[in-house]
Amino acid sequence: MIKWIITKKPLFNRINLQKFPLDKLLIYIILTVGGIVTLLPFLWMISTSLKSSNEVHMLPPKWIPSKIMLENYFVILNRVPFKKYFINSVLVTVCTTVGTLITSILAAFAFSKVKFWGRDMLFTLYLGTMMIPGEVLLIPNFVTLSKIGWINSYKALIIPWIVSVFAIFLLRQYFLGIPKELYIAAKIDGSTDWNYMWNIMVPLSKPALITIGLLKVIYSWNSFLWPLIVTNSPTMRTLPIGLTSFSSEGGTEYHLMMAFATMIVLPMILIYFMLQKYIIEGASRTGIKG
Amino acid sequence: MGSDKSYKSFIRGLLYLLPSLVILGVFQFYPIIKSLDMSFYIRYNYFKDVVHQRGFGNFIYIFNDNQFRIALKNTFIFALGVVPASIILSLGIAVLLNTKIKLRGFFRSIYFLPFVTSVVAISIVWRWIYHSRYGLLNYLLGLVGIYPIQWLTDPKWAMVSLIILSIWRGLGYNIIIFLAGLQNINLQYYQAAKIDGASKWNRFRYITIPQLSPTIFFVSIMSLINAFKVFDEIFALFDKRPGPLNSCLTVVYYIYDQFANQYKYGVASAAVYVLFIIILFFTLIQLYIGRKKVHYD
């Protein structure tokens, strides 16, 4: 192989051969090492999740289990109320995402296409909330919810999260980019503002809506501190809460913990690989999550 | 689209805003004030929501509370451990990714992957990686002759473990932001510098860094703010404890503990406001200095 490379390259390229590829090779090596370090925990998670409990505690560790134990996943499905956690997580994620999309469309439309007194002041007020860390809201919101008796309910997990100022902001920018002529044309055709919004603006803003939706899905699915505080019965737990409680009970059963973790992580990884351009685009717009 | 001042257009606008306004009002605007108020509650009945006495007692309490001082100290150590290292690493990788290489999109997707995954799930995975006897990390270190480290049970190493995990997780996000910043740099600067014979390092030092300084500044502040809010990782990594001997007790963990375990809402609210002021300070720096100073155009 080496001989082939040397003999194939013409002599006058020698300087390039010495200097240029070495640079590039180094770049590839660094990036590959970084990539391996990034992926290693995921591979280790999946590998462990397929091991028998004996093989988990074996040195040196094997990357490929001698027997693939898919059973671990079924053990998790049956041992803990995994199905319940899963349904809760899906329900909360779907509802918060749909809710966020609806409230964002309405608010973004008002902030971009309806002119009214106090609009800019209200928009500034909205944007101001992005400066408030979620921790500030935690205790009073808990008190509010316990006063109206929502603790341990889906309402507590969903309702406070169906508005995202970042989503409104992103969508408003998008709406502002839609030419006025479309609105005038729609008006001449006798369309109301309401119909114009749903029939013209929303379909035109699909990329922005997908981005907003995906960021919300990821955020909701992974959300931890809030569901931890507002739920205390096992039947209301979402997946991440279920995993932490399983891991304190499960003690040393790392193969089962890893199977559990894999089932939380995998859906998001699949969504990410299918639609990553929207996710990366959205994430690069801001440092504020959710 | 409606005249500016009419009564009708005002109502119309508000109707569109109604859903978001109600939710924000109840769950964002009101709690900001309520939270401040609660931090002054000294004697109160939470069940009946009656306050008998207000005062500065909670603030006096937390600043005399050894736990809170440990929490503040640990949070600063954590931020100092994560932010500079994370920025240097992610900037380096972003610069390498911004060269003409193949598989660029592929590498970018890989690095960003941890960002979309559950912090809790991935922290449990790291708990297993850090396992002193059967963990992957000690095994790999053993291959180069390093004795097993008690990553999660030795107070000296617990914070290091938390920092490594956080750097690993946050890298991809920073890389994405840096890549976006790098792509905004006008290529003519580089061409001009090349003609003048500037070396690669000098081009990096005198073009990339100054041109990228607004982005570097933004990422630094955002990372600092996020570092001050660390919680999920600790909860999952140390199994519902703030590390051995409180070695990973951070401000948010302290708030959580006072609130959810000890039911001291007033004390927790006071700690929240201390955190809020620290974060607000960084946010304001970002808003004002970030806009004015760090620009070279």
pLDDT, one tens digit per residue, over A43-53 is 999 999 999 88
CATH number at residue B183: 1.10.3720.10
Q: Using the beta-carbon criterion (under 8 Å), do A218 and B116 form an inter-chain contact?
A: yes
Are residues B142 and B271 located together in one domain of the fold?
A: yes
**A263-277, B49-63, B237-251 — which is least confidently predicted?**
B49-63
One domain for residues B18 and B161 = no
Q: Is the dihedral of CA B115, B116, B122, B126 positive or negative?
A: negative
| Residue B52 within a domain | no
A254 touches chain B (CB under 8 A): yes
Question: Among positive and negative, which fits the CA dihedral B118, A267, A243, A240?
Answer: positive
Interface test with A, best of B29, B58, B103, B124 (most A CBs within 10 A): B124
Selecting from B231, B269, B275 the residue whose C-beta is nearest the C-beta of A225 gives B231
Q: Whole-angstrom Cα distance, residue A237 to residue B165?
A: 25
Least confident of A61-70, B101-110, B285-294: B285-294
Residue of B nearest to A222 (CA): B118
User: What average pLDDT does this structure show over B42-65?
Assistant: 83
Contact assignment for B168 to A34 by CB distance below 8 Å = no
Looking at the fold, whether B68 and B33 belong to one and the same domain comes out as: no
- B44: β partners: B51
pLDDT above 70 covers a percentage of chain A that reads 91
Looking at the structure, tell me whether residues B103 and B231 fall in a common domain: yes
Residue B265 sits in the same domain as residue B170: yes
Domain boundaries, chain A: 2-71, 75-283
- Has residue A22 got a pLDDT over 60? yes
- Minimum Cα–Cα distance from B17: chain A residue: A107
| Total number of domains in chain B | 2
Contact of A282 with A214, CB cutoff 8 Å: yes
Using an 8 Å CB-CB cutoff, list chain A residues near B263.
Answer: none
Which residues from A are below 8 Å from B20, CB to CB?
103-104, 106-107, 126, 163, 168
Cβ contacts (< 8 Å) between B29 and chain A: which residues? Answer: 125, 129
- Decide if B92 is inside a domain: yes
Q: Which CATH number fits domain A75-283: 1.10.3720.10, 3.90.1150.10, 3.40.640.10, 2.60.120.10?
A: 1.10.3720.10
User: pLDDT per residue over B249-264, tens digit each?
Assistant: 999 999 999 999 998 9
Does residue B8 sit in the same domain as residue B91? Answer: no
Query: Is residue B10 domain-shared with residue B68, that is, in the same domain?
Result: no
First-to-last C-alpha distance (Å) of chain A: 51
Q: In terms of Cα–Cα distance, which of B146, B131, B158, B165 is closest to B233?
A: B165
Please check whether residues B16 and B103 belong to one and the same domain: no
Q: What is the 3-state secondary structure (H, E, C) of A74-98?
A: HHHHHHCCHHHHHHHHHHHHHHHHH
Residue A2 is predicted with a pLDDT of 44
Task: Tell if the CB–CB gap between A280 and B108 is shorter than 8 Å.
Answer: yes
Closest by CA position to A254, among listed A19, A52, A3, A16: A52
Answer yes or no: is B88 within a domain: yes
Among A110, A268, A273, whose Cβ lies nearest the Cβ of B16?
A110
What residues of chain B lie within 8 A of the CB of A165, using their CB?
24
Distance CA A237, CA A230 (A): 10
Predicted local confidence at residue B293, as pLDDT: 52
- Is residue B102 domain-shared with residue B233, that is, in the same domain? yes
| Pick from A97, A93, A96, A85: nearest CA to A263 | A85
Averaged confidence pLDDT in chain A: 87
User: Touching check for A248 and chain B: CB below 8 Å?
Assistant: yes
Label residue A79 by pLDDT band (50, 70, 90). confident
Instruction: Give the pair of three-digit tokens for residue B180.
Output: 């976006």
The confidence band for A290, taking pLDDT boundaries of 50, 70 and 90, is: very low
Separation in Å, CA of A222 to nearest CA in chain B: 5
B149: DSSP letter? -
Residues B4 and B69 in one domain: no
Q: Which residues of B touch A139 (CB under 8 A)?
A: 31, 35, 38, 259, 265, 268-269, 272
Q: Are A124 and A187 in contact (CB under 8 A)?
A: no
Angle at A107 between CA A103 and CA A112, to 5 degrees: 150
Whether B260 is covered by a domain: the verdict is: yes
Alpha helix (H) residue ranges in chain A: 2-8, 14-49, 53-56, 71-79, 82-113, 119-128, 134-147, 154-158, 165-176, 180-188, 193-196, 202-204, 206-222, 225-230, 239-250, 254-283
Mutate which: A51, A116, A151, vs B, most B CBs within 10 A = A116
Q: Would you place residue A159 in the very low, low, confident or very high pLDDT band (cuts 50, 70, 90)?
A: very high
Question: Is the residue at B1 inside a domain?
Answer: yes
- By residue count, chain A amounts to 290
Residue B155: what pLDDT? 92
Q: Say if residue B120 is in the same domain as residue B229.
A: yes
Confidence tier at A4 by pLDDT (50, 70, 90): very low
Residue B70 lies in a domain: yes
Write down the mean pLDDT value for chain B.
89
Q: Is the pLDDT of residue B203 over 70?
A: yes
Let me know if residue B276 belongs to a domain.
Answer: yes
B22 falls within a domain: yes
C-alpha A243/C-alpha B72 separation (Å) is 29
Instruction: Mark whether B72 and B1 lie in a shared domain.
Output: no
Residue of A nearest to B132 (CA): A57
Residue A249 is predicted with a pLDDT of: 79
**For residue A36, what are its two tokens?**
């391996």
Cα A98–chain centre separation = 15
Note down the domain range covering B275. Answer: 64-292
Least confident of A123-127, B81-85, B181-185: B181-185
**pLDDT tens figures, A201-251:** 999 999 999 999 999 999 999 999 999 999 988 899 999 999 999 988 767
